[in-house]
Chains A and B, each alone.
Chain A
Amino acid sequence: MTRRIGVGTESPTDAFFGELAARGREPLLKNASGAVRFDLVDGDAVEHRCVTMRDGEIAVSHKKARADAVVRLDKATFDGMASGRTNAMAAFLRGELEVEGDVGLVLLFQRLFPSPPAGATSVGRSAKRGIP
C-alpha cells in the first residue's frame, strides 16, 4: 500500500496516524497496554492501522496484525473522528463502529481524537451534518 505524502492531499486519517507515529509517546495512553487494530473500510478495500501501546510508547503499522481489540468502521467515519467532527462514543452508540475484544483499550485510545472544530458542536449533530 502506498501512503500519500504531502499535507494538502493527505486524508485526516492518514494525517492522524502519521502524526501519532511521529510522536512515539503519548502520556494520555500511559495506562494502556496492548494493540488496537482499525480495519478501515473504503468501498471494497479495507486498510489496516495497528497501534501498539505500552507505558505511553506508541508504534503504528499498516499490517493486519493480531490485536487485543479490533475496530471495523468506514474510513470516512475515521476521517470524522480524526478531524474532531465525529464523536467516537456517539458513533459507537450509533453502530458505526464494530468493536471486538478489549473495549477498555479502545476507550483509552479515543482520548487521542481532537476537539471538534470551533463552533461545530454547540448544537449537536443534526445541525453539524445537515441530515434531516
Chain B
Amino acid sequence: MSDGLVQILDGNTFVVSDGRGDIESSATDPTGLFSFDTRFLSTWVLTVAGTRLTALSTDDLQYFEARFFLVPGTGTVYVDSDLSVIRERAVGDGFHEQLTILNHRGTPAELDVRIDAASDFADLFEVKDALAKKGLNKSIVEGGRLVLRYERESFVRETWISASAPALIDEGGLSFAVTIEPHGEWTTDLDVVTAIAGTGERREHPKYGRRDRTARPNMAQNLEAWISHAPSIQCDWEPLTGAYRRSLVDLAALRFTTQTMPGHALPAAGLPWFMTMFGRDSIFTSLQALPFVPELAATTLRALGERQGTRTDDFRDEDPGRILHEMRYGEMTAFEERPHSPYYGAADATPLYLVLLDEYERWTGDRELVRDLEFEARAALRWIDEYADLQGNGYVSYKRRNAETGLENQCWKDSWDSISYRDGELPGFPRATCEIQGYVYDAKTRAARLAREVWRDPEFALQLEGEAAALKRRFNRDFWVADGRFFAVALDADGRQVDSLTSNIGHLLWSGIVDRSKAKAVARHLLGPRLFSGWGIRTLAEGEGRYNPIGYHVGTVWPFDNSFIAWGLRRYGFRAEAARVASGILDAAPFFDGQLPEAFGGYPREMTKHPVRYPTACSPQAWSTGTPLLLLRTMLGLEPVGDQLVVDPALPSRIGRLELLDIPGRWGRIDAFGRGRYET
C-alpha cells in the first residue's frame, strides 16, 4: 500500500481509498471507484454527527475485500470515543459496503450519519493527463436511489447508490437519522452499482451483498488451490522460495478475464492501472509462467488471436495480421480521442505471439490450439513480411502512423529516449531495433516446426527456414558493431547502426539469431562492468551518452529483461553467466518482500548495498512477477524435447539443493532436482 492508500479489486473494477475508506479525489488524484477504465465515484465520504472519522485499523481481508475500524473525530480526540464505526467493503460490479455503528454508552445515541457521493466519470487517461470532460454530468434521485449519470451522445455511464436502512437521499448523498440503543448497534447496506448501457455489463446489484447473507468465494481457499496446482518448491535458499510463492500469489491477482472467454484468465500487465490486455506484457508473462501455469498462455493466445488486426487503420496503427498492443474501454477510447480500441502500435508483439504459440505446444502438446490458430499464425507471418518491413531492407521496423496519440517507440523500451546512439543523439524513424529481428528469426524458425508437424505443410516450413537463415546471415553482418564487438541496438532510417551498448543484445541470445562465433563477446559484455551492476544487467551501458542509473530505459535494471537474458545465456551454453544473473536478481527480491519491482536503479551493487526501487505506480507488475518463474526454469535448465522434459541444472553455489516437484506438461508431471555449483 503506497501512501496509506487501500486498494481492492475484482477484474478491472477496483477501489482506491484512504485508510478510513473515504474517497476524495481531485481531477488528477488517482483515488476512486474505477471500472472499465472509468471512474464511477470520485467522492465517497462518511461523516458521523458532522465529523470525519479516524482509522484505528484497516484490514485487506482478501484482494476484493477490506474492513475499516473507525472512530469519530480526528487527531487525538478519539481516545475517549464511545462510538465505533465499521465499514466492510467488497468490490465487484461496483461495491457493497456494510456500515455498522456501535454505541458503547449507557444512554441512547442520536446521530446524523451522512455519506457524500459524487462522480466525475473521468477516463483513466484523463486522470493521468488532467483533461476536462465533454459530456453532461447529472445527479438524480429516483426510485429510492441516487443516480449519478454521465452522458455524452449515446455514451452513458451511471452509478446507482442505494441503502437498506431508511435514508434521506439528495443529489449530493445519503443522510440517515439514527438512534442507537444503549450498547446497541445500527447497520445499513450500501450498494454502489456501476452501470454501463448496452455492453452486457448492466447489473441491478453489486456482485456481493452482506457477508452473512450472500456467499463469497473463499479467496484464501481458491488461492491455495491455485498454488497447490502449480509445482511445489523445496530449497534451502529463502530468497528463492519466498519469491516463488509471492510470484504465484501475485500472478493469481493479475488474472484478467475477458468478456468473450468467461472462466479463462490471461495475465494483465499490472495492478491496478494496467488491469487490461497488453500484447507484449501478456505474452512475455505467459512465456515466463509456461512451466508453472500453462493455461495462461492458452488464454493469451486465444484472446489476442480474436483481436488480431484485420484492417489498415492509421489511427490505431492497425494492419492485417498485427497483434494488439493495448485495449482500453473508457470514454476517450470510445470517442477516438485515444486509439486503444484496441491500439496496435507494437512491432514486437506479433513475432512474440508466434514464439509463444510454439513454446506453448512444446510444453503442453496441445496441438488442437495450434490448429485452431493456424489462420492467425499465418496472418502474423504475413504481417512480418508484407507490412512491417517499412524500409524494404528485410528488417521489421516501426514508425507510428498516428502521430498525435500513437507510440513513438514500439518496442518494449517504449519511452521517448530509450533508443540512442553512443553520443546520446536520438535516431529518426523508422527504427529497426535489434531484438525485434531476433524475435522474427525465432518466430519463423518455430513456425516452420509447427508448419511441418501440425499444419502438415512441409513446403511452407522450408520456405520459413530459408527466410530465417537468410535473416540471420544479414543480421550478423548489418547489426554487428565491429569496433565494440556487440550488436547495435537498432538500424536508423538510413540503415546506419545505432551503436550504443544495451541489454537488447541479451534478447538476441534468447532468440538464437547470434552467430556462435559472436556469442562469447556478447556474453562478456552482458556480464561486464558497463552492463552488469551486480544486481543485474542494465538497460543501457554505463558510459553511453544517455546513461542514467535511474533513467527508465537508459540505465535501470529490469528484472524481466534479465530473466529473458538468462534464458538466452543458457541457450548458448553460458551456464555460469546465467546463474550469476539469476542469483543477482533473486538477491534483490527480499528487499521488496519477494515482490520484484518493475525496475530498480542501475547503481553498482557495492555502492548502494541494496537495490533502489524505481518509483512506479504499478505493483505487482506482471512480467516482474513472472521473473522468478523464468529464472527457476533457466537455473534448472528445463527444456521440453519431444515428449520428455530435459533437466540440466546450473545453479549458483549459494543454493545447496533445489527441488521443483510436479512440473506439468505433455509428460504428465515430472520433478526436477539440482545442486549449486557456480560461484557468483
Whether B198 and A90, one on each chain, are in contact in the complex, defined by CB atoms closer than 8 angstroms, is: no
Contacts A100-B200, A103-B259 given: A121-B334 contact, CB under 8 Å? no
CB distance from A40 to the nearest CB of B (A): 15
Whether A121 and B313, one on each chain, are in contact in the complex, defined by CB atoms closer than 8 angstroms, is: yes
Is B425 an interface residue, CB under 8 A from the partner? no
Q: Per DSSP, are chain B's interface residues mostly helix, strand or loop, or mixed?
A: loop
Q: How many contacts between A and B, using CB within 8 angstroms?
A: 95
CA distance A28 to B199 in the complex (A): 24
CB distance from A77 to the nearest CB of B (A): 9
Residues on the A chain within 8 Å of B341, using CB: 87, 89-90, 93
Residues on the A chain within 8 Å of B306, using CB: 104, 107-108
Whether A94 and B154, one on each chain, are in contact in the complex, defined by CB atoms closer than 8 angstroms, is: yes
Residues on the B chain within 8 Å of A124, using CB: 315, 336-337, 339, 404-405
Interface string of A97-110 (1 = CB under 8 A from B): 11110011001100
Whether A104 and B375, one on each chain, are in contact in the complex, defined by CB atoms closer than 8 angstroms, is: no
Q: Specify which of A89, A95, A123 is in contact with B156 (CB 8 Å cutoff).
A: A95
Whether A122 and B336, one on each chain, are in contact in the complex, defined by CB atoms closer than 8 angstroms, is: no
CB distance from B547 to the nearest CB of A (A): 36
Residues on the A chain within 8 Å of B333, using CB: 90, 93
Is B153 an interface residue, CB under 8 A from the partner? yes
Whether A103 and B311, one on each chain, are in contact in the complex, defined by CB atoms closer than 8 angstroms, is: no
Most buried by B among A94, A96, A98: A94
Residues on the A chain within 8 Å of B314, using CB: 116, 121-122
Whether B198 and A126, one on each chain, are in contact in the complex, defined by CB atoms closer than 8 angstroms, is: no
Contacts A31-B372, A90-B336, A126-B335 given: A111-B310 contact, CB under 8 Å? yes
Is B342 an interface residue, CB under 8 A from the partner? yes
CA distance A29 to B596 in the complex (A): 41
Is B412 an interface residue, CB under 8 A from the partner? no
Whether B315 and A115, one on each chain, are in contact in the complex, defined by CB atoms closer than 8 angstroms, is: no
Interface band, chain A: 20 to 34
Contacts A104-B261, A122-B401, A123-B404 given: A94-B335 contact, CB under 8 Å? yes
CA distance A130 to B630 in the complex (A): 50
Is B667 an interface residue, CB under 8 A from the partner? no
CA distance A124 to B312 in the complex (A): 14
Is B416 an interface residue, CB under 8 A from the partner? no
- Which residues of B from 141 to 161 have beta carbons under 8 Å from A? 153-156
Whether A92 and B199, one on each chain, are in contact in the complex, defined by CB atoms closer than 8 angstroms, is: yes
CA distance A30 to B80 in the complex (A): 70
Whether A121 and B154, one on each chain, are in contact in the complex, defined by CB atoms closer than 8 angstroms, is: no
CB distance from B454 to the nearest CB of A (A): 15
Interface string of B369-396 (1 = CB under 8 A from A): 0001001000000000000000000000
CB distance from A19 to the nearest CB of B (A): 16
Is B316 an interface residue, CB under 8 A from the partner? yes
CB distance from A116 to the nearest CB of B (A): 6
Q: Specify which of A100, A103, A111, A123 is in contact with B315 (CB 8 Å cutoff).
A: A123
CB distance from B295 to the nearest CB of A (A): 18
| B320 nearest in chain A by CB position | A115
Contacts A104-B261, A104-B306 given: A125-B336 contact, CB under 8 Å? yes
Whether B260 and A104, one on each chain, are in contact in the complex, defined by CB atoms closer than 8 angstroms, is: yes
- Between A and B, 25 residue pairs with Cβ closer than 8 Å are A28-B310, A31-B372, A31-B375, A84-B311, A87-B313, A87-B316, A90-B334, A90-B336, A92-B199, A93-B199, A94-B153, A95-B198, A95-B199, A96-B198, A103-B259, A104-B259, A107-B260, A112-B310, A116-B313, A121-B314, A122-B401, A124-B404, A125-B335, A125-B336, A126-B337
Q: Identify the B interface with A (CB < 8 A).
A: 153-156, 196-200, 259-261, 306-307, 310-316, 329-330, 333-337, 339, 341-342, 372, 375, 401-405
Seed contacts A93-B341, A124-B404; 16 additional CB < 8 Å A-B pairs: A31-B375, A84-B311, A87-B313, A93-B334, A94-B154, A95-B199, A95-B334, A99-B198, A99-B199, A100-B200, A104-B260, A115-B311, A116-B313, A123-B404, A125-B335, A128-B336
